């Protein structure tokens, strides 16, 4: 059976780190590369964190650093949520391998170009790298099966009342990707804020007495109960995007026209979902609106335990 070809673009980040662990537990996947983008923290820190997590989990994959800032705007980071390192909490050893000596956008373009089969692209950070790749090499569009993107919200935001963080950091990049014509599943706060790990889950992870389960517990201990975004527990934003790419039935999606607000006084970064088709625009995004919680946590916990 041909493996599913996958690319991951991320900004580790606690939930990105857990998303990477879930992704590399999928034995039916061939993850061709991991690229990092500035978002939760600066590019230097998200790159270091990706290398450190992959090293700690003994995962070997080409990793390349992409954009250090959004296409047009100043970078917003999230130390309030992820700490100064972007992965505060666990004491991770230094990475045991180096990044590719190539820009992450070049890595995305060249990796996709050399495949004979279509690739699924999973994004768990701002969409700067993917947008730049599509702008720089439009030919890769036809070799992308679909994009599964953690970002946006049909409902309220988490960084402003209107906007979710990943989209807000680079609304222009998000707009370009969302209107690229490539099949796109938006895994937004509407479902990720239902995918909550609780204190009991941390205790369960610790009881497993396994290296990676303990590592995830330590990540959650720092990440949990981030009152700033009004969510109790630890929302598994990015792991849910990976789960959707692996087992689409973990959510229920419906296709709607979705536009990205780039010029609002209070609404910049909002994913504007035209539920009532008022605009008459063609639907362009599969919006995830319902979560199968039991299935998701079965996938996530099974993946964590699959590491020795």
User: By CB under 5 A, is residue 13 in contact with Ca ion?
Assistant: yes
- Which of 8, 17, 18, 39 binds ligand RIB (CB under 6 A)? It is 39
H helices present in the chain, as ranges: 14-24, 43-56, 79-82, 104-113, 128-136, 165-169, 171-178, 189-192, 199-207, 211-223, 237-246, 293-305
188 binds ligand RIB per the rule CB under 6 A: no
- Minimal CA–CA distance to 189: which of 216, 162, 217? 162
Residue 14 annotated among the catalytic residues of the structure: no
Q: Which is nearer to Ca ion, 237 or 270 (CB)?
A: 237
In order of 73, 135, 196, the CA distances from 237 in angstroms are 24, 27, 9
> Using CB under 6 A, which residues numbered 9 to 38 contact ligand RIB?
11, 13, 15-16
41 touches ligand RIB by CB under 6 A? no
Helices 293-305/14-24 angle, 10° precision:
80
126 binds Ca ion, rule: CB under 5 A: no
Question: Could you tell which of ligand RIB, Ca ion, none binds residue 286, using a CB distance below 5 to 8 A set by kind?
Answer: none
Q: 115: exposed, middle or buried (C-beta count within 10 Å: 0-12, 13-18, 19+)?
A: middle
57 Cβ contact partners less than 8 Å away, ≥ 6 residues apart: 20, 21, 24, 212, 307
Please report whether residue 238 would count as binding ligand RIB according to CB under 6 A: yes
Binding mask 212-251 for Ca ion (x = CB under 5 A): --------------------------x-------------
Binding residues (CB under 5 A) for Ca ion: these are 11, 13, 16, 124-125, 238
Catalogue the active-site residues: 237
Binding residues (CB under 6 A) for ligand RIB: these are 11, 13, 15-16, 39-40, 124-125, 150, 158, 164-166, 237-238
């Amino acid at each position: 059976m041909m493996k599913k070809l996958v690319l991951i673009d991320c900004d580790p980040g606690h939930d990105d780190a857990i998303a990477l662990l879930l992704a590399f537990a999928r034995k039916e996947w061939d993850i061709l590369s991991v690229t990092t983008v500035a978002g939760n923290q600066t590019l230097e820190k998200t790159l270091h964190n990706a290398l450190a997590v992959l090293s700690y989990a003994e995962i070997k994959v080409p990793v390349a650093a992409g954009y250090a800032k959004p296409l047009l705007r100043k970078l917003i980071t999230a130390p309030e949520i992820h700490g100064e390192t972007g992965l505060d909490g666990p004491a991770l050893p230094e990475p045991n391998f180096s990044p590719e000596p190539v820009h992450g956008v070049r890595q995305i373009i060249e990796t996709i170009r050399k495949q004979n089969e279509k690739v699924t692209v999973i994004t768990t950070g701002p969409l700067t790298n993917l947008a730049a790749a599509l702008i720089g090499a439009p030919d890769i569009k036809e070799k992308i099966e679909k994009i599964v993107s953690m970002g946006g919200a049909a409902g309220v935001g988490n960084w402003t009342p209107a906007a979710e963080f990943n989209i807000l950091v680079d609304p222009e990049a998000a707009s370009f990707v969302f209107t690229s014509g490539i099949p796109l599943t938006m895994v937004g706060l509407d479902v990720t804020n239902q995918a909550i790990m609780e204190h009991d889950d941390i205790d369960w992870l610790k009881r497993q007495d396994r290296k990676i389960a303990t590592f995830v517990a330590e990540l959650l201990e720092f990440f949990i109960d981030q009152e700033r975004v009004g969510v109790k527990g630890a929302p598994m934003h990015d792991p849910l995007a990976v789960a959707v790419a692996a087992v689409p039935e973990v959510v229920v999606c419906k296709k709607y026209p979705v536009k990205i607000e780039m010029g609002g006084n209070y609404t910049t970064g909002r994913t504007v979902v035209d539920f009532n088709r008022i605009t008459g625009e063609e639907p362009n995004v599969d919006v995830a609106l319902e979560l199968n919680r039991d299935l998701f946590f079965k996938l996530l916990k099974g993946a964590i335990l699959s590491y020795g």
